[in-house]
Chains A and B, each alone.
Chain A
């Protein structure tokens, strides 16, 4: 492995710091309190419900702990967390149910 030279590292850090901040600031900063068109608002109402499941789904089906092999303990734990969160509307209950399922099944199945 080559040693990374400090200048390169600093360039990467600075570029990512500026770039990431720009991405975060672009709407909340520049649009601010101005009204946005209805069609855009209608789409934005579903951003959270779409992007968070999309982020998580591959991690559930191909978990890193099994080197990406689908596995019953992880899928069950995920379903449990989702179902309990949905039914109780309580995030902590969902997390605990998911964690209990994961540890329980990992213990039983090994």
Chain B
């Protein structure tokens, strides 16, 4: 029987991260194209994608700069869009917090929607994983995505390549994340958390700076936690 080694956790992460290339590439290309159209040099565009490393925040900043918004408004709005990564950081801490500091320094940089979602699914499914194995898995997920994102940005910036809208790849993001939500809904409390978050998210789309997402996320988390407590009490009572 095959023994799961630490090394194979890296490759499992790599495999789980690979499907996201389908969304990272068009997204990265589009950023490259729009950034250069807005007047950023190739060096600036690449620095942007490499150091900020957060698609949605980058698009927000670019859009506001184009609209002649004050610099500080562009910065703060983009950071608001990115606030969710602080929640990811908190949520990953029980799993990765015991890793050496230098590993956490890199893990922080690579905390994105994809690495977070894949890791949480894997860590919950396999609670016996050691911290070193979780770290391997986490870096495995971002290994195919980081080069894809950077190369795509470069192609967009230099060649102006875009994926035609008729391919429908803009919907790759919702589909991929939805397919991941399924396996995450392990208990009634998880289902309640998701449903509450969806309803609040749909009701709060008019809240500025994408803060509706945070409100919805917090509402869902509170609902899930509350549901867990109620279910535990009921189980204890019977």
Q: Which of B2-10, B144-152, B197-205 contacts A (4 or more CB under 8 A)?
A: B197-205
- Asked if A91 meets B16 with Cβ closer than 8 Å, knowing A21-B109, A28-B92, A85-B182, the reply is yes
| Interface SS of chain B | helix
Q: How far is the CA of A88 from the CA of B183 in the complex (A)?
A: 8
Distance to closest chain A CB from B153 (angstroms): 13
Knowing A4-B40, A89-B183, the reply to whether A24 touches B220 (Cβ < 8 A) is no
Is B184 part of the binding interface, using a Cβ–Cβ cutoff of 8 Å? yes
A62 CB to nearest B CB, Å: 8
Please measure, in the bound complex, the distance between the C-alpha atom of A82 and the C-alpha atom of B78, giving whole angstroms: 29
Are A78 and B178 touching (Cβ within 8 A)? yes
What chain B residues lie within 8 Å of A45 (beta carbons)?
A: 224-225, 228
Task: Report the interface size for chain B: residues with CB under 8 A from the other chain.
Answer: 95
Task: For B97, list chain A residues within 8 Å (CB).
Answer: 27-28, 31-34
Q: A49-B193, A53-B194 are in contact. List 18 more A-B contacts (CB 8 A).
A: A1-B39, A12-B65, A15-B75, A16-B52, A16-B75, A19-B79, A23-B86, A26-B89, A36-B93, A41-B94, A44-B221, A50-B219, A63-B174, A81-B174, A82-B178, A92-B19, A95-B176, A99-B175
Give the 3 A-B CB pairs with smallest separation, nearest first: A50-B220, A94-B179, A85-B182
The residues of B with any CB-CB pair to A shorter than 8 Å are 16, 19, 38-41, 44, 47-48, 51-54, 57-58, 61, 65-66, 68, 71, 74-75, 78-79, 82-94, 96-98, 101, 104-105, 107-109, 111, 113, 116-117, 120-121, 165, 168, 170-185, 189-191, 193-194, 196-198, 200-202, 205, 213, 216-225, 228-229
Q: What are 30 contact pairs spanning A and B, CB under 8 A?
A: A4-B39, A8-B71, A12-B75, A16-B82, A21-B109, A24-B88, A27-B92, A27-B97, A28-B104, A29-B104, A31-B90, A32-B93, A42-B225, A49-B224, A50-B193, A50-B217, A51-B87, A51-B221, A52-B117, A53-B181, A55-B177, A56-B178, A57-B202, A78-B178, A82-B181, A82-B182, A86-B182, A91-B176, A91-B183, A95-B176
